[in-house]
Every structure is written in C-alpha cells, then in structure tokens.
Chain A
Amino acid sequence: MSEQERRPEDDGQDFASAAWSIPSYLLAGMAIYGGGGWLLDRWLDTSAFFPIGIVLGIVLSVYLVYRKYGR
C-alpha cells in the first residue's frame, strides 16, 4: 500500500521467484544439454555425452539461479 510495506514484499517476491523458478530452470538445463548430448551420442555412436550433458545442464542451471537470485 505505502512505501514502508513494499520492502518486505520485494524480498518475498525475490524469494518466491527463486523458489518457483528453480525446478523449471533445472528441467530446462537438463533437457537442453541432456538432449544435445543424446543427439551427439546418436550421431557419433557413443554413450558418454548424454550423462555429461545432463550434469552440465544441472550445473549451468544452478549457476544461473545462483547468479540471478543468490545475491
């Protein structure tokens, strides 16, 4: 309503945004880099890139969430 009330709500907004964005980001990271790895595996007839892609996706997602909301 007034200016004093805005501050805690801003914090709440950041917290909620982070909390509800994390699963979405994790899924997206895994899907993109896992998917890329799976395609590479199929193309090169290997089996290592899929798990590497999944892990890379998770790491990147966590990094992204950390940079966006962690500070």
Chain B
Amino acid sequence: MNALTVLNPQDQFKAPTPDELFNLPPIIPGVDWFTKPVLLALLSAVIVIGFFWAAFASPKIVPRGVQNAAEVGYMFVRDQVARPFLGKDADRWMGLLLSLFFLVFAWNIMGVIPFAQFPVASHIAFPAVLAISIYVLKVYLGVRHQGPIGYFKNMMFPPGLPKPIYILLSPIEFLSNLIIAPFTHAVRLFANMFAGHMLLAFFSMVGFWFLFEHLTPLGAPIGVIGVVMTIIFTAFEMFIQFLQAFLFAMLASMYIGGSLHAEH
C-alpha cells in the first residue's frame, strides 16, 4: 500500500492511511531532506518573521495597520501566556514565548491553508525539537536560579508532605518533571495535529471520491456529507490549531516560571 493506491481505478473507496498522508516524497527527486513539511516549516518561519518585521521594525506610538494586528497577538501572548506564570519577569521572556507561539501557530495553521494543507507539527520532529529546547532551558534555569541541589530538592521534595511518603512520591516527581513532562509537551501537540490532519483528509477524500471520482446516485449523499464535514472540521481544526499553539507556549511559560521560582 503506497501513495499510488488512491489513483488506482478501483470501485471501492479506500480510507487514507497515515503512511500515505504523512510519509511524503521529496519535492525535488534526489534531495531527500527537502520534503513538503520541511518546505512548510521554513515558509512558516519566513511568514512569521515577515509579519513581525512589517509590524515591529519601526513601531509607532500610535499603531496602525499591521502593527495593530501584531500588537493584539503580542498582548495575547503577554497577558495569557507570559504573565500568569512569570509575573514581573514576563517581559524578559516575551521574545521567546512570542516566537514560540507564532511559529507553532504558523506550523499548525498550514494544515488548513489551501495548497499547503499539511500541519507541520504533525511530524513529531518539529514539536520535539522545540520541546527539547524548552526542556534544556528549564533545567538550566532551575539549576541557575535554585542551585544544582536546591533545584532537584525543590522538585522532588515538595514541602508539606509527611516524611515517609517522600520515598514513594519522589520518584514520581522526578519522572514526571524530567521525563514525562517534556515528552507530553511534544506529543500533545504532535498527536493533535496528526489526528486532525487524518480527520480532515478522510472527510475531504470521502467528498472527492463520491462526488468526483466515482459519482453514483447512492454515493452522492455520502459525498455531500463528506464535504460538509470537511468544512465543519476545517473550522474545528483551526480552533484546535490555535489552542495547541497556545498550550505549547503556555506550558513553556509554566516550565520557565517553575524553574525561576521554586514551587510553593
């Protein structure tokens, strides 16, 4: 079963497989690394940079046009992502969090942009590399601000618990904070984008198959349902794409905040 299966003149509808959807061939034959997700990842970076360059290259006291729009984004990240977890340190980390949020958002929204139609973050490598960066930053900040011993002590021995319990709970804290958390950080984003793309692809293929490739009186209503569901799920996906970008940045902010100040 490979990418050619869909094109085979068969009378039966075939649901798209993850392999067909996510294992994309190189755009230029022979240049293995240059695939669609790589192109879109770079394109997203260019778009984000271009957008903020247009908005903030020479900002005005009285904003207009693009600056207005970008300021709304900046305010959103500052008030919803940075300040709740970083308080007065928020402004120092805004550069990181704003870049993170908008890059992930651009990567995600590529899933519903016509012709692109592939959420970059549905390839685990992209969320993983960001999550690893945040993880390294988190441990570095924790060691620097709480001391190498203090950081692990504060993490594994939260105050206010009965002493014997620590033997049972400290391993959980350790595993949760240092291994599971970065993993879920990346996987949450990846899995949402992966599943969302699968759903969208499935419904759009249903519509395409039953209305264009294999139009029959019986199949037509199913095709219409497929198209309607595609539209509904496109709207839903846009919301999920935004939400996951927000969550990814928010968790990064939470980790940074937790490393700057010991948990209470």
Contacts and interface: CB of A to CB of B under 8 A. Distances in A.
A and B in direct contact, judged by CB atoms within 8 A:
yes
Main secondary structure of the interface of A (DSSP, over half): helix
Given A67-B161, A68-B263, A32 B171 contact: yes
Contacts of A13: 84-85, 254, 257
A29 B175 CA distance: 8
Interface in A1-29: 6, 9, 12-13, 16-17, 20-21, 23-25, 27-29
Nearest to B87: A6
Interface residues of B, number: 28
Contact of A12 (B84, B158, B171): B84
B133 interface: no
A38 B251 CA distance: 32
B131 interface: no
Given A16-B250, A16-B254, A68-B263, A25 B84 contact: no
A20 B254 contact: yes
Contacts of B87: 6, 9
Interface string B55-91: 0000000000000000000000000000111010000
Interface in B209-264: 247, 250-251, 254, 257-258, 263
Interface stretch (B32-40, B108-116, B176-184): B176-184
Given A12-B84, A17-B254, A67-B160, A24 B181 contact: yes
A57 interface: yes
B168 interface: yes
B254 A23 contact: no
Contact of B251 (A12, A20, A27): A20
A12 B158 CA distance: 20
Nearest to A57: B172
Contact of B172 (A6, A17, A20, A64): A64
Contacts of A64: 169, 172-173
Contacts of A16: 84-85, 250, 254
Interface of A: 6, 9, 12-13, 16-17, 20-21, 23-25, 27-29, 31-32, 57, 60-61, 63-64, 67-68
Given A9-B84, A9-B87, 20 more contacts: A12-B84, A13-B84, A16-B84, A16-B250, A17-B263, A20-B250, A20-B251, A21-B176, A21-B181, A24-B176, A24-B177, A24-B184, A27-B184, A28-B176, A31-B175, A32-B172, A60-B168, A64-B172, A67-B160, A67-B161
